[in-house]
Chains A and B, each alone.
Chain A
Amino acid sequence: MKSARLSFSKALFYKNMQRFWPILAAYLIGMALFGYGVASSIPDYLVLEPHYFTNLIYRASGVLVMLVALFSILAAAAVFAYMHNSRSTAMINALPFNRKTVFFSNYLSGLFMIMIPLLLLFLGLLGLGLGYGMLEIVPLLVWLLIFAVLTLLLYSLAVTMGLMTGNIIAHLVFYGIANFLLIGLEVLVKGNLAMFLYGYSYRVFNYGGYIFEVATPIAYAGNLYSANNMQWGVWGAYLLAALVLTWLAYQLYQRRKMENAGDVIAIRQLNPVFKYGVTFCSSLAFGTFLLELFNLETNFEVAVILYLLAGMIGYFVAEMLMQKTFRVWKNYRGFVVYALIFVLASVSVYNDWYGYASRLPDADRVEAVAFSHNSISHINMQLLKADRSRVYLDQIINMPDSMAIAYGTPLNLERDSNSDGYNYPIMENLSPEEMRSLWAITSGIYKSDASIEAIYSLHSYMVDNMSDIRDEYRQRYQERLIDSENLRHYYICFAYRLDSGDIQYYSFPVILPLYPQDESDQQMLDQLMAIISSPEERSKKAAVLDIEVEDIRYLDVNFHVKHYADWEKKLPQATIEATRPMAELIERQPVEIQPADRAAFLEAVQADYLEMSDYQMFESEYLTCANVDMQVEYPHLPSYNRFRDRHYPFSISVYNQNVFDLLQERDYLDAEAVEYIREGAK
C-alpha cells in the first residue's frame, strides 16, 4: 500500500491540471464537435435501425483517430516538457519524490487529460442513442474499448518518444516518425527497389501491406467501419504494446541522465541509431527527390552519387543536431563506412547478386496463373485470391446467376437512410468453387495445363536468360528515349496461385523491337503471342459475348484515331484536309449498333477472336481503333438485384476483319472510312 501511495503525487497532478488545462479544454471541445457532428447526421424524417447509429459513429471515427493522435502527443509533450529544459528538470527532480512517483504522476496526468474527454463523449453518445431510441450498447462499448486502447497506445508511444529526447521539437518529430516509420520505410525501400532491382515491382502483390497497416495504428484504426469486422487479436496486441511502451518509458525515466536536457538524443546508446537512421532515410528520400527533380531515375551511377550526397547531408545534419555545433566535419569516418556499405549494397541490388529476379515457383504446385504482358488488371489479381479477400464482381458480365443472386440480393429490402440504396452482402471470401468458376470465365486467368505450361515456359526462358534480358532492357530503356518508334515497352507479369492458396507474383519490364532481328527477342515475342492467343484465352474472350441479344440495352462503337497528330504529319496536306472532317465525325459520334444487327455484331467479334492469327491476337491489344460500350439487362433477376444491369466495355482492333466487314455490309461505315480508321490506328 505504501509503495502504491508513493507512486503518485497529488501535488504534481494538480499542478499539471492547473498548468495544462487548455489542452483538456481543447480536447473536450474537439470531442463535443465530433458528438455534434454525429448528432446532426441523424435524419429526423426516417425510422432508424439501431445499427444505423452505431455505423454512423464507426464511420465518423476516422476523424476521431486524428484527434486522439494529436492530443496524445500534446498531452505527453506538456506533462513531460520539463525534461527538455535543464532549469525545470533540476526543479522537478529536486522535489522530494523518487523518479517512479514523478514519472507516474506526470504519465497519469497526461492520460487523464485525454481519457476524460473520451469517456464524456461516450456518455454523450450513449445519451444520444437512448434519446433516439436506437442504442446498441455492445458495439458502443466495443467502440469505447478500442478508442481507449488506441489512446493508451498512442499516448504511451508519445511518452516513450519524449523520453528518448531532450528537445521538444525532436519529441514531436520522433512521435510522427514512430507512427509512420514502417509505412514510410516500406514506401522508400520499395520505391527504390522498384527503380533499381530488376524484376521488383512496387505493386508487389503480397500480404505485407496488411502487416504494415497494423503496425501503423493510426492507419489501421482509421479504417474501422463497424464493430462486425473487429480483429480482437490486433487490439489485444495494441493493448500489450501500450503496456510494454509504458514500462519502457518508465525504465527510461528511471535511468535518464537529466543532464541531457536540451539534447536531441537523450539516450547516448541511441546516437548511432539516430545518426545512421537519418543518413539512410535521407539517402533514400532526399536522393529520390533529387533523382525525380533531375529526371535521372535510370542512371544508376548518377543515382548512387546523388544518394550518397543526400545521405552525407543527413549524416552531418544528424551530427550537428547531436553535438550542437557546426564543427562536425572531423567525424567523416562514419560516413565513409556508411558510403562503402551503401555502394556495395546498391551494386549488389542493381546486379541482383541475390537472384531475386531468377526465382521460379514450383511448377507442380501451380493451380492457376494470371498473366499479362501489360500489367495484370486489378480485378484479375482480386479473383486469384477471391477466397480470402474482397472482390468487386461488377466488372464480370457473364457471372453465373447463382453468384448474381448470392451477392447481388440486398440483405433486406429497406433502403439505407444514408445513401438511399440497399445494403448488399460484402463480396469477400467467396467459396473456392465460386472462385474457380470465375477463373474459368475470366480472360487473363489461365487454368488449363497447356496454358500454364506455356506461361511457365516463358518464365523459365526469362530466368535462364535473366542477366541478358536485364542488361538489354536497361540499354534499350536509354535508347527508347531516342528511338521510340521501333521499340515497344512490355510489362510482363506472372501471378501464380499455388495449391496452398499462396500467391507468387513476378514482373519484368521488357523492351522489344517491333520487328525483332535478334533470335532471342523473336523467341520471347513468339512465346508471348502463344500465350495471348492460346485456345483458352480465345474461347474465354468469345464466351463473354454469349449474350441474349434481346437483353442488350445498347451497343455503341466509339472509333478513335490513334496518334492522330503524328499520323497526320505523314500525309500530304490535301489528304489531311480531305480526311479531317471524317476524322472529326468518326471521333465525335459513336456508331450505334441497331438491335437487328447486334447478334451479328457479337458473332463477328467472336469469330474474329477465333480466327485471328497469333500475331493479330497479340497485336490487337496495341492496335485498337474503337471502344465498345455494351449495357446488358438480365430481366430474370429481380429489380433490386445489383447485377441486373451490367456494363461491359471491350476494344476493337484493326484486325477485327469480321467486324469491319459487317459494319460495311450493314452500312455503318463505308470502305473509305474503314481504311481511314485502320490506318489511323497503326
Chain B
Amino acid sequence: MIEVQGLCKTFDGFPALNNVSINVPKGSIYGIVGPNGSGKTTLIKHMVGILIPDQGTIRIEDEEVYDNPAVKKRVAYIPDDIYFFPQDNLDDMVSFYRRVYPEFNMERWQKLLPVFSLDNKRALRRFSRGMKKHAAFMLTLSMMPDVLVLDEPMDGLDPVARRKVWSLLFQDVAERQTTVFVSSHNLRELEDVCDHVGILHRGEVVLERGLDELQNNIFKLQMGFHGEAPDFSSLNVLADNRVGSVVQLVVRGERERVLQQAAALQPLMLDVLPLSLEEIFIYELGGLDYEISTAII
C-alpha cells in the first residue's frame, strides 16, 4: 500500500534520512519508532507530499505521492503541531475541508461532534493542545481517508481521549481497510495497537517487522539445572542471566525448534516467559548502541 524506496534527504548537509525503505501493507497499523531527531517527522512529511525528496520514491498503491492530488486526496495527515487558520472555528474548517475533500462525510462529522464535545463556534486558536488534537481527528476521520498519517498523535491527549481515538481508528481499519501510519517514541503504546513496527535511528531504518513475526522469533527461556549449567551453544542466545542454578536466556529462533533444543539440554524445569515489545527491541538492537534502548523505553 505505502512503499518508500531509498528515500534520502539532507538539510543543509545534515543527513536527515538515509536510504530509507519501508513497506506498509494495506489495512495495517504501522508504527514508526525512534528517538527525537531520528527523522520520523521528516519521513512523514515526505509521505504526505510536503517535502521534496533528494532521492528515492514514496508511492501509495503504485502512484507517486509528491505533487499528485489524486493520491493526496486519499491521504489524511495529523501533524504533531497542528495548524488551523488563525481566525477559524470548527465550522469554518469544515466548510473549507468540504471544498477541498469531496469525500468529506458530514454525517460522520455530526456523529463525531458529540463524541469529543467541542464548541464548533469557538475560535480554534483558543483551543488547548489536546482540544486541537480532538478537532484534527474529527476533521480527518470525516474526510474518509484511505491512508491516515499521524505524527505523535496521542501527545497531549488524556487516557480517555486516547482510548476514544484508537477505538475510532480501529473501527476505520476494520470497516474500511484504512491504512494507518503512526509515529511515536512511546513503544508501549504502539505495542497494543500496531501490527507492523519500524525503528528509525539517525535517519536509517534499522528494523522493520510484523509484530507477530517479532514476537514468534524471540523468546525468554527460564531453565533450572542440577549443578553446573550446560553449554548453550546450540541455541542462538542474545542474552543470558544466571542466578544460582536458574538460567534466563533470550533466544532467537523458531519456537518449536528452540524448545526442542532447550529440552535436549535436560533442564530440571523449562518455562517460556513473555517478552514485551520494548524488550524485544532492546535485545534485537542491542548491538547498535545504548541510545536506542534508552529512547524507546
Contact = CB atoms under 8 A, between A and B. Distances in A.
A96 B83 contact: no
B12 interface: yes
A327 interface: no
Interface string A127-144: 000000000000000000
18 contacts: A6-B69, A11-B96, A11-B100, A15-B96, A18-B92, A19-B85, A87-B83, A89-B50, A90-B50, A90-B83, A91-B79, A94-B49, A94-B50, A96-B70, A96-B100, A97-B69, A255-B52, A259-B11
Contacts of B12: 268
A205 interface: no
Given A94-B77, A98-B69, A88 B83 contact: yes
A89 B50 CA distance: 8
Contacts of B239: none
A255 B52 CA distance: 8
A96 B66 CA distance: 10
Given A94-B72, A96-B101, 9 more contacts: A9-B100, A90-B77, A91-B84, A94-B77, A96-B70, A96-B75, A97-B100, A99-B67, A101-B69
B48 interface: yes
A257 B42 CA distance: 12
Interface residues of B, number: 28
B48 A94 contact: yes
Contacts of A98: 67-69
B106 interface: no
A332 interface: no
Interface centre among A15, A87, A94 (most CB of B within 10 A): A94
Given A93-B49, A95-B100, A87 B69 contact: no
A647 to B, nearest CB: 65
Nearest to B143: A96
A259 B11 CA distance: 8
Nearest to A93: B50
B121 interface: no
- List 7 A-B pairs, minimum CB-CB distance, nearest first: A11-B99, A87-B83, A96-B73, A96-B72, A91-B83, A93-B50, A98-B67
Interface string B89-116: 0001000100111000000000000000
B242 to A, nearest CB: 51
B61 interface: no
A198 B113 CA distance: 79
B45 interface: yes
Interface string A250-271: 0000010111000000001000
A14 B99 CA distance: 10
B244 to A, nearest CB: 57
A349 B99 CA distance: 63
B265 interface: no
A95 B67 contact: no
Contacts of B45: 90, 258-259
Contacts of A19: 85, 87
Interface of B: 11-12, 45, 48-52, 67-70, 72-73, 75, 77, 79, 81-85, 87, 92, 96, 99-101
B69 A96 contact: yes
Nearest to B87: A19
Contacts of B72: 94-97
A94 B49 CA distance: 6
A257 B48 CA distance: 15
A10 interface: yes
A10 B95 CA distance: 12
Contacts of B52: 255, 257-258
Contact of A257 (B51, B96, B99): B51
Contacts of A97: 69, 72, 100
Nearest to A86: B81
Nearest to A91: B83
Interface centre among A10, A88, A90, A259 (most CB of B within 10 A): A90
A95 B84 CA distance: 13
Interface in A77-107: 85, 87-91, 93-99, 101
A144 B101 CA distance: 39
Contacts of A101: 69
Contact of B85 (A15, A95, A258, A268): A15
Nearest to B72: A96
Nearest to A271: B12
Contacts of A89: 50
Nearest to A322: B12
A6 to B, nearest CB: 7
A87 B81 contact: yes
Given A87-B79, A87-B81, A94-B77, A258 B51 contact: yes
Contacts of A10: 99
A24 B151 CA distance: 37
A101 B45 CA distance: 19
A459 to B, nearest CB: 57
Contacts of B81: 87
Nearest to B45: A90
B8 to A, nearest CB: 14
Contacts of A94: 48-50, 72, 75, 77
A259 B77 CA distance: 17
Contacts of A11: 96, 99-100
Contacts of A9: 100
A165 B181 CA distance: 32
Contacts of B48: 94
Interface string A15-56: 100110000000000000000000000000000000000000
Nearest to A14: B99
Interface in A419-458: none
A15 B84 CA distance: 12
A19 B85 CA distance: 8
A91 B50 CA distance: 8
Contacts of A85: 83
A97 B67 CA distance: 7
Contacts of B100: 9, 11, 95-97
B216 to A, nearest CB: 37
Nearest to A97: B69
